[in-house]
Amino acid sequence: MACLVSRTGREMQRYNSSGGRQVVGCIPYRYKEDIDGNVSNELEVLVVSSQKGQALMFPKGGWELDESVEEAAYRESMEEAGVTGIVEPELGQWSFISKRHGSYYEGHMFPLLVKEQLDLWPEKDLRRRIWMNVDEAREVCQHWWMKEALDILVQRLTNLQQNTNTQC
């Protein structure tokens, strides 16, 4: 059972050595299924709307002192997008300026292979979630660093698929 309340406040927030807020996000993904439940090779990713607008992005939020970076990534995906699954190895770290606060942030991104999509989740009434293909997601995603993470994920999954096909 998932917690149905989002964490709030910044008292547990992590900051890097230069004072930048550390945030963590996930790219929730799955492979598209047909009507009969057969899984294809077509990758779908889940984007969410921002809390205070219609901008689309991948779930992300603050990394807190009482959790690992992977736990933070998992929590943000559940809170903002209502999905759970397997957090896979980190896609990378980015340094960027927050448009809202005008300060440097450090962003960590992870893939999340979605295993369950919840009907109720903490930010259900605050956000929209939309499954889309990679090209659509790259076009609508508001953050350049998230687009770079998406490109890394696609390359990683493509290489994995090619290696799997070569071994067969």
pLDDT digits (tens, 9 = 90+) for 136-147: 999 999 999 999
Q: CA 154, CA 83: separation in Å to the nearest integer?
A: 20
User: 155: domain CATH number?
Assistant: 3.90.79.10
Position 12 in a domain: no
Strand runs labelled E in 81-152: 83-87, 92-97, 104-117, 129-133
Residue 128, domain member (yes or no): yes
Residue 53 in domain:
yes
> Whole-prediction pTM value?
0.87
For the stretch 36-83, pLDDT in tens is: 888 888 899 999 999 887 899 999 999 999 999 999 999 999 999 999
The number of distinct structural domains making up the chain is 1
